[in-house]
A and B are shown apart, each in its own frame.
Chain A
Amino acid sequence: MKFGVVVFPGSNCDHDAYYALKHVLRQPTIFLWHKDHDLRGVDCVVLPGGFSYGDYLRAGAIAKFSPLMREVREFAAGGGLILGICNGFQVLLELGLLPGAMLRNKNLKFLCENVHLRVENAGTRFSNRARRGQVLRIPIAHFDGNYFAPPNEVRELEKNGQVVFRYVDAGGRATAAANVNGSAAGIAGIINREGNVLGMMPHPERASEALLGSEDGRIVFESLIRSGTPLPRRRRTP
């Protein structure tokens, strides 16, 4: 499965995502420059973490107008797989490819720590290698990760199974303390209704090798690889 990692000025997890996909998961992976107008035949677009355009105005607000975003919108509309991590999630919200917006963390601090996520929907193309209710340990690193959507929108997301990851404690309980940034309903990751665009604040690429302290993030990439690879054809014996 061919992955393309978009590079904006100020992206700083682009190389981490590239490394995890290319060298850990051994998938063909390329960088895509935000000023180009060509997705170069990738099967999955990754919008990486970082501070595109220095987070000026609002996180993700300027990246939304990058030339390549025209192709990214078309790719999304055509059912192409898009994974937005951290700043990439913020860009997806600004693009309107996912509902809601990000506010500053409730404690007004930049949070850089390991958190626990519960897989709320294991039926998506980004989570099919997990079990429903499985708890993953994956780090976060953000200032604006306090997910906001109007209450009726949050209810819709819950009802449609669009909440894929939720902040929980190590035991899998969704407590107020475990919801470190104050997100609505403890939301850490959501998917669009069509099931091809997912945004998440935690960094799965930073949890892709035992050396990094956790391999739990691989589940996201492995799920994508599984869903992007056609099932082997069964040969009929006469």
Chain B
Amino acid sequence: MKVRVLVSFKESVLDPQGQTVKNALLTLGYQTVKDVRQGKVFEIELAGVSEAEAARIVPELANKVLANPIIEKFTWQVLKDGKKG
């Protein structure tokens, strides 16, 4: 099973990289851009686990390793098996 974890800064934390990207987009004329937050994406392959087990393991490893809970939050989802479609 493949899962995707998205880690991004909490709303209360300033994201200077996101701000810089936003300013670049505005400079290019994309005036509809309101805000940009930059984050990290992890695609993790798990072997021999059920969705229920994944629901226990993924948040645990995200909290312990992938994200620093002081400044970051995360969301995750199960990806459909590698097939295009």
Measuring CB to CB, which residues of chain A are less than 8 angstroms from any residue of chain B?
Answer: 57-58, 61, 65, 94, 100-101, 103-108, 148-150, 182
Residues in A neighbouring B66, C-beta threshold 8 A: 57
Residues in A neighbouring B16, C-beta threshold 8 A: 103-108, 182
What is the minimal beta-carbon distance from B71 to any residue of chain A, in angstroms?
A: 5
Measuring CB to CB, which residues of chain B are less than 8 angstroms from any residue of chain A?
Answer: 12-14, 16-17, 20, 65-66, 68, 70-71
User: B71–A103 contact, CB under 8 A?
Assistant: yes
CA gap between A57 and B12 in the complex, in Å: 21
User: A103–B13 contact, CB under 8 A?
Assistant: yes
Contact with B71, one of A105, A106, A148 (Cβ below 8 angstroms): A148
CA gap between A137 and B80 in the complex, in Å: 56
What is the minimal beta-carbon distance from A21 to any residue of chain B, in angstroms?
A: 30
**Given A101-B70, A103-B71, A108-B20, A148-B65 contact (CB < 8 Å):** no
User: A108–B17 contact, CB under 8 A?
Assistant: yes
CA gap between A150 and B12 in the complex, in Å: 9
Residues in A neighbouring B17, C-beta threshold 8 A: 104, 108
- Chain B: which residue is nearest A148 at the CB level? B71
What is the minimal beta-carbon distance from B66 to any residue of chain A, in angstroms?
A: 7
What is the minimal beta-carbon distance from B10 to any residue of chain A, in angstroms?
A: 10
The CB with the most chain B CB atoms within 10 A, among A58, A100, A107, A150, is that of A58
Residues in A neighbouring B12, C-beta threshold 8 A: 150
What is the minimal beta-carbon distance from A6 to any residue of chain B, in angstroms?
A: 20
What is the minimal beta-carbon distance from A175 to any residue of chain B, in angstroms?
A: 19
CA gap between A101 and B14 in the complex, in Å: 13
- Chain A: which residue is nearest B42 at the CB level? A57
What is the minimal beta-carbon distance from B40 to any residue of chain A, in angstroms?
A: 8
CA gap between A61 and B66 in the complex, in Å: 9
CA gap between A209 and B13 in the complex, in Å: 39
* 7 A-B residue pairings within 8 Å (CB atoms): A58-B68, A65-B65, A94-B68, A101-B68, A103-B13, A104-B16, A150-B12
